[in-house]
Amino acid sequence: MKAFTTLTALVAPLDRANIDTDAIIPKQFLKSIRRAGFGPYLFDEWRYLDRGEPEMDCTNRPLNKDFVLNQAQYQGAQILLTRENFGCGSSREHAPWALEDYGFRAIIAPSFADIFFNNCFKNGILPIVLPAETVDLLFQEVVDGYQLTIDLQAQTITTPSGQSIVFSVDENRRFRLMNGLDDIALSLQHADKIKTYEAERAKRAPWLFKDA
């Protein structure tokens, strides 16, 4: 996983509430058995005018010119600004995979759906929760070439005018993301504790331990 420390990048505003994971990456693309290559299909039904299919070459597909990510001034954006309950719906990690593959490293919203929020941290994406009024202000400020600087160590966002916005991330998640750490390796450091737990629980609930 890519580590996340600081990021200065272009912001793309996606002004909709309750954006679900079916919109982020439609189900036909979930048939892939790989982890990479979802970026061209991110927001497929909004981004293109035709119907997307797995493994399709997207270079000549008709674009929906009204969709924000197709507009010239937002090309290369790495920060997505959006509304409440972003990522609701399914648990598909293909959603953060698609966002990451497209190039997004941070998402700012008033709230996120829990499973999606969690999945972001496993993929080097920083989801930032800000008060709805602050998100509103950012939406008003976004103009051509609008960039934000995100500092995960300091847990601050700096706007072009120099204003500093504070956010907070759970300490454990922040540490793992800043160092790009392998969660499984960290958990396996507690292997002895897991075994002790199993031995103790097997006494209380033996029926859960009568398998091979």
Partner 1 sequence: MAGKTLYDKLWDDHVVHTEDDGSCLIYIDRQLLHEVTSPQAFDGLRLSGRQPWRIARNLAVADHNVPTTDREKGIADPVSKLQVETLENNCKEFGITEFDMADIRQGIVHVIGPEQGATLPGMTIVCGDSHTSTHGASAALAFGIGTSEVEHALATQCLVQKKAKNMLIKVNGKTGAGVTAKDIVLAIIGQIGTAGGNGYTIEFGGDAIWSLSMEGRMTVCNMAIEAGARAGLIAVDDTTIDYYQGRPYAPKGDDWNMAVRYWQNLRSDSYSGDLFDKVINIDAAGIKPQVSWGTSPEMVVAVDANVPDPAQEADPVKRQSIERALQYMGLQAGQKITDIKLDKVFIGSCTNSRIEDLRAAAAVIKGRKKAASVKQVLIVPGSGLIKQQAEAEGLDKIFTAADFEWRDPGCSMCLAMNADRLEAGEHCASTSNRNFEGRQGYGGRTHLVSPAMAAAAAIAGHFVNVAEDVA
Chain positions contacting partner 1, by CB under 8 A: 16-18, 20, 22-23, 26-28, 30-35, 45, 51, 54-55, 83-85, 88-93, 96, 111-115, 118-119, 122-123, 170-173, 182-184, 187-188, 190-191, 193-194, 197-198, 201, 204-208, 210-212
In the complex with partner 1, the residue whose CB is nearer, 18 or 70, is 18
Provide the minimum distance between the beta carbon of 89 and partner 1 in the complex, in angstroms, as a whole number. 6
In the complex with partner 1, the residue whose CB is nearer, 65 or 210, is 210
In the complex with partner 1, the residue whose CB is nearer, 18 or 149, is 18
Q: Which residues, in sequence order, are bridge partners of residue 157?
A: 150, 165
Rounded to whole angstroms, the Cα distance separating 77 from 46 reads 17
Provide the minimum distance between the beta carbon of 190 and partner 1 in the complex, in angstroms, as a whole number. 5
- Of residues 106, 151, 111, the one with CA closest to residue 124: 106
In the complex with partner 1, the residue whose CB is nearer, 72 or 185, is 185
In the complex with partner 1, the residue whose CB is nearer, 10 or 86, is 86
- b/e sequence 12-44, b meaning 16+ C-beta within 10 Å: bbbeeeebebebbbbeebbeeeeeeebbbbbbb
Provide the minimum distance between the beta carbon of 152 and partner 1 in the complex, in angstroms, as a whole number. 15
Chain centroid to CA 155: 17
Provide the minimum distance between the beta carbon of 171 and partner 1 in the complex, in angstroms, as a whole number. 4
> What are 30-37's contacts with CB under 8 Å, separation 24+?
30/92, 30/94, 32/94, 35/97, 36/97, 36/101, 37/101
